[in-house]
Structure 1
């Protein structure tokens, strides 16, 4: 863990993202580019956590749907993150059903890893534990969690959704998602402590 840390990109605030989405809805291509650059790495990380190597294809399908339906979207930055995550999740689940592919994980790209680490560094000890992992190792540990915990961690930590928005994406109560996320992060922290003691 003594290796130099790469420069981290700060996540765009929800107000700033909401403004960019509103401009994109009005036809501003540069604003859509801003939205895409902000969300795509996180969306790709979330999809890789769900379906592994096929994430790029599903992300492309997701962005196709986002562009097609952007005119009908109403809401701010957090709502847009949730709306995009819901589209991605439905596309990923359809992909799994179509191909009967077992969900698997692969390494996140460096940009996604930097954004995840930047968000977890100010949260709690469980979140900070994730920051100290390599991306591949973190995704491997997340894949070992029960599905509800793994998906809650991916939505909350990788995509940065709040509890109510993650609950909406998953079709669950916010308390259930917060609990699953907390349990998942706690379990990851415990596994890391065990690994350090060995």
Structure 2
């Protein structure tokens, strides 16, 4: 291959790299490692009957978990682990809250949520949220949460995602906490994020 052709290919490669970079910066293209945004605007009702929106996540580290009060396993297990995690955070526990969002609005009224969250093994600083089916669907989509009713009659269940979303005090995703971690492991991840500051995006 002649030097002239090599020079042309080199120039084309440089031009392509420059154009790709400009496209990414302008938003026309997204870098391959970029993940879909998690979180966003919502309006729900807390366990005291008050209307709450996404501003409830501002100013604190929030462990956001989706479930339902009739859940037989993943929900109480996760809330129990978060209760232990809260204690392990020590003085930083005041900067941390658990946000439990129902995916069963038909049964999880504010009163039902309040009763359920009085369990002493659950985190002391828990915000329980429910709403209309449309409101729940909106927030579930914002967090990319899967949920689906299974069964008929009063004893139906709800299949759902079991990821916990650690949101930083700015209301943005810091990291995902997988189901099944010990309280010690959860506390380590949360503390690692806290050490990075309020804009942390990893743990």
| TM-score, scaled relative to structure 1 | 0.27
Which one has a bigger Cα radius of gyration? 2
Q: Which has the higher strand share?
A: 2
Q: Which has the higher helix share?
A: 1
